[in-house]
Structure 1
Amino acid sequence: MAIATPAAMDVGPSDRPLRIAVVYGRSPLPMRRADQLTVAHLLTFLKARGHAVDLFAINSGGTPDEADVAWLNQTCRKVQMFAHDRVNIAKGLARVPLSGLPFQVGLFTHDGQRAALEKAVDAGEYDIVYTYYFRSAEITRAIAKKRTGVRPRTFLAMQLSQTLNTRRIAENAPNWAYKQFYSLESRLVARYEAEIFRDFDRAVLIGKSDVAEINGTCERLGRPPIDNVVLCAHGVDVTRFRPRDDLPVVPGKLVFSGVMRTPTNVQAVQWFVTNVWPLIRAEVPDATFDIAGREPSSDVLALGKVPGVTVLGTVPDTSVPIAQAAICINSMQAGGGMQNKLIEYLGSGKPVVATSVANEGIGATDGEHLIVADEPADFAREVVALLRDPARSAQLGQAARRYIVENWTWEAHFLKLEQAFYQSLDEGA
């Protein structure tokens, strides 16, 4: 289930309100994906700070209902939604062979969205144009490249290294066709990612590992490194994802949560059930593993036939199975940037065993806030050890909660982003 609307922001109004265009390849509501969650909370923050925000979005990722539309209209000064129909999809993908654009960029390049934004920019309506995800970069690229006259400052929220993300998906692909497609996409993404940030005033990335990955790509392709980075990660709702006294922990229960049609999540649970789960059950025969998340693929549903594994599918609120877990796991093998599920686990005060891939964007300390394990035998051993040591599990959970409250609230990260807006405006004056 998607939570209806974002939590309120604990911030007061800014003494320097801005006019901001937010450009996005989906509707922020309903919040079914991590990127929708982030954009919806960003809109909430900007509204709370008194900024005037116009949203230019493609109507994909779930159709907003009346309540969603009402919330968007209340939160934004103006909302323009553009149909993601077969005609526009075909036009976008047709650009790929001739332009060399990544498929995901072609898919989310919408001529109507671009024309409407350019008209508003030409009318001088914005101080900042904020493009969320590099797949929407072609919508704002011409605006960003303009170097004459009055223009807004432009931010491209690349968020993570898509080169790293697509390469890892290809490496962990379940079949030949999947592997070939993502191998091709990874090469297209590498060339695009090493160039696109140069056209914008600022490139927003989640963490230093993503900067390093993009710089590695630039070096391989003989191009200068990225030099306009703003680091801004996501946050978590620490009131929703919190320790719960009203929900008992189920002994021996492990939980993984996420959108279960996403390739990286599918690969993560397949790896865990195939390689780690038999080792855990050999030591703790009554252990159970719940996979919570909407739209489970056929590969995920098949895992429900394994003894002790339950595919919950869509649940009313993912914070509930997380609260009931004895241990939460994040067994990601592919992906980049940061894992929202991991900060949700940690914010809930749960003991967590995760791979280094899952933790690379979060930077939690191994052994203090969570346990990191990459090999199946190591992963299983750490899970079993925590199941047998409630005191150690409680200690990890308490440290995890403190770490999130101190470092990973939405407000903390968005205030840094806002400061980057002001700095860029002052430098460009």
Structure 2
Amino acid sequence: MNILFLCHRIPYPPNKGDKIRSYNEIIFLSQKHKIYLGTTLDEKSDKNYTPELEKYCEEVFAVHFKRRWRLSKSLLSNKPFSVSNFYDKRLQAYVDRVLKNNKIDIIFCFCSSMAEYVYQSPAFKNDDISKIKMVMDYVDLDSDKWRQYSEYTKFPKNIIYRIEQKRLLEYEKKINEIFNHSVFVSEREVNVFKRWYPEAKNIKVIQNGVDSEFFSSDPGTFTSMEEADDSSFKLIFTGVMDYFANEDGVKWFCRDILKKIKSDIPNVEFYIVGNRPTKRVQKLSKVDGVFVTGYVEDIRPYYVKADVCVIPLRIARGLQNKVLEAMSMGKAVVATSNASEGIICENNSDIIIANDAESFAREVIDLLRNENKRKDIGNSAYQNIRTNYKWETNLATFEELFGKYTE
């Protein structure tokens, strides 16, 4: 079948949550189908990544544009800011051309914002699209993300985020009404959506996977982190560090949790590992025992050296790949419910869950003092990932959906 795959950000390199999922979807779908990829670029230099995607796609059309004026324009309309943020007329022209000149069987949208390219196409407006099946991979319920943001920010941002939450929820409802299938990454997303929209229909959960061969603790697969001080316990947090939820999480950890841990175990180091740390995150390196690495070529050596991986997210949506990667590396993980919800796991078996500063610190201290418990938790996590989080197995559900369209 021919698939028009619309993605809000270029799905390469697979170095953050949404790109990991979209990249693996493209690899999987390309095995049996022709893919016409339309996407946007965060940076002009991201154009250099298109050859990697051309290995799997019949066509790749990627466009870069400045988003700021689009956001200000959307304030005067009723459309969600997210939709304006990812809409460009050149990409619309590509979508229109592909729909006109090719026999497209499926339109696959990755992220709710990409539905606008369907709505604005002549094929949709003229009802020439009725024979094309449409699948929306919401991944996360973005409207709920903006609700959470509004609860952790001050005026005027909290007002803007609340407006976006309301607008985007209505947009998400419309998508569910019009598209043939709505896909989410976890049951949690589905439950929240149905709570706000009981009429929701044709919903499917398709979980992420993990490249467990890559995220393996086998020391022969990568260079070790030799400069680390082995006399200290090491805690690690990984993620793109200009993402608000990650920034909030590490700030909370450094402010309210780390000092409780160090009062009991002074020789503890906390590594914040990830690209694009904001100035607020960079300032955390002034805290005793905190290291902000910025971009690293390979994250695995940091996982290997870590005694415990901490995921102190107060704001979270979807399924946290950082949790899955740490578990795949055989590491003991302490996470909030927000960070772990949606993941197949059992508290005190293959993960430790703690939601307030006091209990979070206490659980980390307990693991640092108990090497056997750390190993048991890590080994259980390792087996969990290899049982439940294989990309090929989880993404095969898309073929089940597509199979219905050929009957």
TM-score, with length taken from structure 2: 0.92
**Any stretches of 5+ residues in structure 1 without a counterpart?**
1-17, 219-223
Using the alignment, how far apart are the partners of 1:38 and 1:149 within structure 2? 27
Using the alignment, how far apart are the partners of 2:124 and 2:330 within structure 1? 42
**Partner residue, 1:116:** 94
Segment of structure 1 superposing worse, 382-391 or 182-191: 182-191
User: Which amino acid counterpart does residue 217 of structure 2 have in structure 1?
Assistant: P
**Partner residue, 2:151:** 171
**Partner residue, 2:351:** 370
Using the alignment, how far apart are the partners of 1:95 and 1:277 within structure 2? 41
**Partner residue, 1:12:** none
- Asked if structure 2 preserves the Cα contact closer than 8 Å seen for 1:128 and 1:155, the reply is yes
1:33-83 Cα offsets, whole Å, 9 max, x none, are 321222222222222x232111011222563354x2322222211111223
- Asked if structure 2 preserves the Cα contact closer than 8 Å seen for 1:259 and 1:296, the reply is yes
| Matches for 1:9-408 after TM superposition, within 5 Å | 18-47=1-30, 49-60=31-42, 63-64=45-46, 66=48, 68-85=49-66, 90-91=69-70, 94-98=73-77, 100-141=78-119, 151-173=131-153, 175-218=154-197, 224-245=198-219, 247=224, 250=230, 251-408=232-389
Using the alignment, how far apart are the partners of 2:340 and 2:288 within structure 1? 28
Using the alignment, how far apart are the partners of 2:272 and 2:56 within structure 1? 34
Once superposed, what is the RMSD of the aligned Cα atoms? 2.1
TM-score, with length taken from structure 1: 0.87
Residues 299 and 92 of structure 1, relative CA distance in 2, 3 Å threshold: closer
User: Which amino acid counterpart does residue 73 of structure 1 have in structure 2?
Assistant: E
Using the alignment, how far apart are the partners of 2:210 and 2:333 within structure 1? 16
Secondary structure of the residue aligned to 2:60 is: strand
Using the alignment, how far apart are the partners of 1:245 and 1:83 within structure 2? 39
User: Which amino acid counterpart does residue 165 of structure 1 have in structure 2?
Assistant: K
- Asked if structure 2 preserves the Cα contact closer than 8 Å seen for 1:326 and 1:387, the reply is yes
Using the alignment, how far apart are the partners of 1:317 and 1:177 within structure 2? 38
1:376 CA drift (Å) = 0.8
Residues 202 and 93 of structure 1, relative CA distance in 2, 3 Å threshold: farther
Using the alignment, how far apart are the partners of 2:129 and 2:284 within structure 1? 58
Using the alignment, how far apart are the partners of 2:207 and 2:238 within structure 1? 20
Using the alignment, how far apart are the partners of 2:43 and 2:338 within structure 1? 26
Segment of structure 1 superposing worse, 357-366 or 22-31: 22-31
User: Which amino acid counterpart does residue 183 of structure 2 have in structure 1?
Assistant: V
Using the alignment, how far apart are the partners of 1:108 and 1:70 within structure 2? 22
Using the alignment, how far apart are the partners of 1:59 and 1:353 within structure 2? 34
User: Which amino acid counterpart does residue 161 of structure 1 have in structure 2?
Assistant: L
- Asked if structure 1 preserves the Cα contact closer than 8 Å seen for 2:43 and 2:64, the reply is no
1:106 CA drift (Å) = 1.3
Identical pairs, percent = 25
Using the alignment, how far apart are the partners of 1:79 and 1:338 within structure 2? 27
Structure 1 stretches of 4+ with a deviation exceeding 4 A read: 142-150, 246-251
Segment of structure 1 superposing worse, 29-38 or 257-266: 29-38
Residues 63 and 418 of structure 1, relative CA distance in 2, 3 Å threshold: farther
- Asked if structure 2 preserves the Cα contact closer than 8 Å seen for 1:124 and 1:151, the reply is no
Residues 146 and 353 of structure 1, relative CA distance in 2, 3 Å threshold: farther
- Asked if structure 2 preserves the Cα contact closer than 8 Å seen for 1:386 and 1:392, the reply is yes
- Asked if structure 1 preserves the Cα contact closer than 8 Å seen for 2:74 and 2:80, the reply is no
Using the alignment, how far apart are the partners of 2:71 and 2:96 within structure 1? 18
Using the alignment, how far apart are the partners of 1:92 and 1:181 within structure 2? 11
- Asked if structure 2 preserves the Cα contact closer than 8 Å seen for 1:169 and 1:335, the reply is no
Secondary structure of the residue aligned to 2:87 is: coil
Residues 332 and 52 of structure 1, relative CA distance in 2, 3 Å threshold: same
- Asked if structure 1 preserves the Cα contact closer than 8 Å seen for 2:319 and 2:341, the reply is yes
Using the alignment, how far apart are the partners of 1:101 and 1:59 within structure 2? 21
Using the alignment, how far apart are the partners of 1:149 and 1:170 within structure 2? 37
User: Which amino acid counterpart does residue 37 of structure 2 have in structure 1?
Assistant: L
Residues 414 and 144 of structure 1, relative CA distance in 2, 3 Å threshold: farther
- Asked if structure 1 preserves the Cα contact closer than 8 Å seen for 2:50 and 2:60, the reply is no
Secondary structure of the residue aligned to 2:250 is: helix
1:147 CA drift (Å) = 5.5
Residues 144 and 325 of structure 1, relative CA distance in 2, 3 Å threshold: farther
1:184 CA drift (Å) = 2.3
**Any stretches of 5+ residues in structure 2 without a counterpart?**
none
Residues 148 and 125 of structure 1, relative CA distance in 2, 3 Å threshold: closer
Secondary structure of the residue aligned to 1:304 is: helix
User: Which amino acid counterpart does residue 232 of structure 1 have in structure 2?
Assistant: I
Using the alignment, how far apart are the partners of 1:61 and 1:135 within structure 2? 19
User: Which amino acid counterpart does residue 107 of structure 2 have in structure 1?
Assistant: V
Using the alignment, how far apart are the partners of 1:363 and 1:145 within structure 2? 42
User: Which amino acid counterpart does residue 110 of structure 1 have in structure 2?
Assistant: D
- Asked if structure 1 preserves the Cα contact closer than 8 Å seen for 2:41 and 2:47, the reply is no
1:180-207 Cα offsets, whole Å, 9 max, x none, are 3222222222222233221101111011
1:160 CA drift (Å) = 1.2
